[in-house]
């Protein structure tokens, strides 16, 4: 930046660090054009990130951590625990790079890649400021979703910011009995504590909450589960996203048959719960929900 005084350059050099990402590998889905990137970070770590094309524009699914320490049993991102948090600039760089590489403008962002955004709260918050600022990327907060596995302390912090983003909560089970077996975070904050936090969040922000529910055959896909789920969501203005469980080679979880997924949806509808089945994108390049990893060589 030769257009600013040397003294200021020196000061910036001492105080600031903008981390970039480098494309280490790139895979394009032959089915739907979804692009998965493996990015190399400044310290030699790796993360993955996905660019998806929808009718309404381009969406980038960003990672917020290298790895994840939440240990959900069905997910590939946390298999080797957490290596480190991403800096706000590293989260931002995933969007800038995907835009540049494809010569497009990214209109939507989902914080649904590798990592738990509320376990990296300060950088996620900073990222939300930068991505939405008109001098930043100018992507409106209404076009951004943040997904959490249920970090209640983070939901409380986030509600204080009162941002118009969409909060997605990965519920995946209607009872503590089932949730405890697949999501260790439930032992710290159980479903009641989580849903109470969602209610408080909604009272402050007045935003509809999205609940993610990954359907796993024989684990959480029964009619009883659908009925229990509908019961628990009473009093929350929400939408349920049903995600057929995506394959991860290290575990044996399977998605239910599509007819059973549709049945589950109709059981919810019968109880007045709005649910959609999430379209699987990038299935041929392991770019679907829960399939992102931190290692080179697995692409």
The residues carrying an active-site annotation are: 48, 289
Radius of gyration of the chain measured on its C-alpha atoms: 19
b/e code 129-140 from CB counts within 10 Å (16+ = b): ebbbeeeebebe
Structure tokens at 91: 């989260």
Q: How many residues bind ligand SAH (CB under 6 A)?
A: 17
Q: How far is the CB of 116 from ligand SAH (least distance, A)?
A: 4
Structure tokens at 70: 């939440």
* 197 contact, one of ligand SF4, ligand SAH, none, CB 5-8 Å limit per kind: none
Cβ(91)–Cβ(125) below 8 Å: no
Cβ(150)–Cβ(201) below 8 Å: no
Contacts with ligand SAH, 123-162, as mask; x by CB under 6 A: ------------------------xxx-------------
Cβ(67)–Cβ(77) below 8 Å: yes
DSSP state of 278: P
> DSSP 3-state assignment of 30?
coil
| Cβ atoms within 10 Å, residue 263 | 16
Structure tokens at 200: 């408080």
State which residue, 60 or 243, has the beta carbon closest to ligand SAH.
Answer: 243
* 243 contact, one of ligand SF4, ligand SAH, none, CB 5-8 Å limit per kind: ligand SAH
| CA 205/CA 203 separation, integer angstroms | 6
Does 48 help bind ligand SAH (rule: CB under 6 A)? no
| CA 19/CA 41 separation, integer angstroms | 8
Residue ranges binding ligand SF4 (CB under 6 A):
68, 70-72, 75, 77-78, 114-116, 149, 170, 290
Contacts with ligand SAH, 83-122, as mask; x by CB under 6 A: -----------------------------x---x------
Which residues from 52-71 bind ligand SAH, rule CB under 6 A?
none
State which residue, 226 or 243, has the beta carbon closest to ligand SAH.
Answer: 243
Does 245 help bind ligand SAH (rule: CB under 6 A)? yes
Instruction: State how beta strands 238-244 and 65-67 pair.
Output: unpaired
Q: How far is the CB of 158 from ligand SF4 (least distance, A)?
A: 15
Contacts with ligand SAH, 189-228, as mask; x by CB under 6 A: -----------------------x-x--------------
State the Cα angle at 101 between 113 and 28, rounded to 5°: 60
Contacts with ligand SAH, 258-297, as mask; x by CB under 6 A: -------------------------------xx-------
Q: How far is the CB of 114 from ligand SF4 (least distance, A)?
A: 6
Any idea of the CA torsion for 225, 286, 152, 91, to the nearest 10 degrees?
Answer: -160
List interacting residues with ligand SAH (CB under 6 A): 72, 74-75, 112, 116, 147-149, 170, 212, 214, 243, 245-246, 248, 289-290
């Amino acid at each position: 930046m030769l257009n600013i005084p040397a003294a200021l350059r020196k000061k910036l050099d001492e105080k600031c660090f903008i981390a970039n990402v480098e494309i280490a590998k790139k895979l394009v889905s032959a089915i739907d054009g979804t692009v998965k990137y493996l990015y190399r970070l400044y310290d030699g770590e790796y993360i993955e990130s996905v660019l998806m094309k929808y009718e309404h524009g381009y969406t980038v699914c960003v990672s917020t951590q290298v790895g994840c320490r939440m240990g959900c049993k069905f997910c590939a991102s946390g298999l080797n625990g957490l290596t480190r948090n991403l800096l706000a600039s590293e989260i931002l760089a995933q969007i800038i790079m995907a835009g540049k590489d494809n010569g497009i403008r990214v209109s939507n962002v989902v914080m649904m890649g590798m990592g738990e955004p509320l376990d990296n709260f300060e950088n996620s918050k900073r990222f939300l400021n930068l991505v939405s600022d008109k001098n930043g990327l100018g992507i409106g907060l209404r076009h951004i979703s943040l997904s959490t596995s249920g970090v209640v302390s983070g939901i409380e912090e986030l509600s204080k910011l009162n941002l118009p983003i969409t909060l997605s909560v990965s519920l995946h089970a209607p009872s503590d009995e089932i949730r405890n077996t697949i999501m260790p975070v439930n032992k710290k904050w159980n479903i009641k504590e989580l849903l109470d936090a969602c209610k408080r969040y909604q009272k402050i922000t007045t935003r509809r909450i999205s609940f993610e529910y990954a359907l796993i055959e024989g684990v959480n896909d029964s009619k009883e589960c659908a009925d229990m789920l509908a019961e628990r969501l009473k009093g929350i203005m929400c939408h349920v996203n049903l995600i057929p469980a995506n394959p991860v080679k290290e575990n044996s979880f399977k998605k239910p048959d599509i007819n059973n997924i549709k049945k589950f949806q109709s059981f919810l509808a019968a109880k007045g719960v709005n649910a959609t089945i999430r379209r699987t994108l990038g299935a041929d390049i392991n770019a679907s929900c829960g399939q992102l990893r931190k290692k080179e060589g697995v692409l």
